């Protein structure tokens, strides 16, 4: 179980897609969010995903920070191997003022290594909040090999809302399959456990950078 959790902790730190469309689609199909837990102000929910036994997961938490600080961490792609423990390699293939296209590898103890391509984009919402959405893509630079399990199913988003001058609300959504032959129930348990760790890691990095800037 520990090695599965490590895999999820890494993927949940980065993956998301245009989830408003996913939300609307699933709501029309009758899928409802179910409350899972609350700890330290972080609320966790899950729901069924059409055509899959893997659950969608979302979380909501409010903590110290600004939208720009959070966005800066998420787009500092080449630093992710330093920030997130099991990211072993990141390469930015292309970047513009709103999006980047990256290739990443993870290496968790006693688990098969994974790799993935992801396109991440900043979306400035009308209400002043900022979302970071992401989708998988493909590129010939890093072909599929037996050395890594290629992850192709992942979607979700971060939505950052400034609720006070130095406090942000983070809405997070994820639907991800790390691949391999892991039992579905194990994937669902690991996902629920890893989401809170992901959001607190982001907060820790925001505070770390803020402290460093004052030295």
DSSP-derived secondary structure letter, 186: H
Q: Which of 25-29, 86-90, 116-120 has the lowest mean pLDDT?
A: 25-29
Q: Are 209 and 201 in contact (CB under 8 A)?
A: no
- Give the C-alpha separation, 98 to 167, whole Å: 24
Statement: residue 140 has pLDDT above 80: yes
- Give the C-alpha separation, 69 to 72, whole Å: 5
What confidence tens digit (pLDDT) does each residue in 5-14 have?
Answer: 655 555 555 5
* Geometric angle at alpha carbon 202, from 20 and 194, rounded to 5°: 70
**Tokens read off for 158:** 């971060």
Residue written as token pair 């998301």: 16
- Give the C-alpha separation, 152 to 146, whole Å: 15
What confidence tens digit (pLDDT) does each residue in 147-175 have?
Answer: 999 988 888 899 999 999 999 999 999 88
Quote the pLDDT of residue 61: 99
Mean pLDDT for 84-94 is: 91
35-57 as b/e, with b when 16 or more CB fall inside 10 Å?
eeeeeeebebbbbbbeeeebbbb
What confidence tens digit (pLDDT) does each residue in 33-74 have?
Answer: 999 999 999 999 999 999 988 899 999 999 999 999 999 999
Statement: residue 23 has pLDDT above 60: no
CATH of domain 2-213: 3.30.530.20
Q: What is the DSSP string of 16-33?
A: ---HHHHHHHHHHTT---
Distances (CA, A) of 41 to 1, 38, 157, 200: 25, 6, 20, 11
Quote the pLDDT of residue 182: 76
């Amino acid at each position: 179980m520990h090695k599965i959790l490590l895999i999820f902790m890494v993927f949940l730190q980065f993956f998301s897609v245009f989830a408003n469309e996913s939300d609307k689609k699933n709501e029309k199909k009758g899928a409802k969010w179910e409350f899972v837990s609350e700890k330290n102000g972080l609320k966790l929910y899950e729901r069924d995903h059409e055509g899959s036994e893997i659950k969608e997961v979302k979380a909501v938490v409010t903590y110290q920070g600004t939208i720009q600080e959070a966005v800066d961490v998420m787009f500092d792609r080449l630093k992710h191997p330093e920030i997130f423990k099991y990211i072993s390699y990141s390469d930015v293939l292309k970047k513009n003022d709103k999006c980047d296209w990256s290739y990443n590898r993870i290496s968790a103890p006693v688990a098969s290594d994974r790799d993935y391509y992801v396109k991440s984009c900043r979306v400035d919402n009308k209400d002043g909040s900022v979302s970071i959405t992401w989708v998988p893509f493909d590129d010939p630079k890093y072909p599929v090999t037996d050395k890594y399990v290629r992850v192709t199913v992942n979607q979700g988003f971060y939505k950052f809302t400034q609720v006070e001058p130095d406090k942000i609300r983070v809405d997070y959504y994820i639907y991800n399959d790390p691949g391999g032959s892991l039992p579905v129930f194990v994937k669902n348990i690991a996902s629920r456990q890893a989401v809170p760790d992901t959001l607190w890691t982001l907060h820790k990095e925001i505070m770390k950078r803020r402290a460093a800037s004052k030295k």
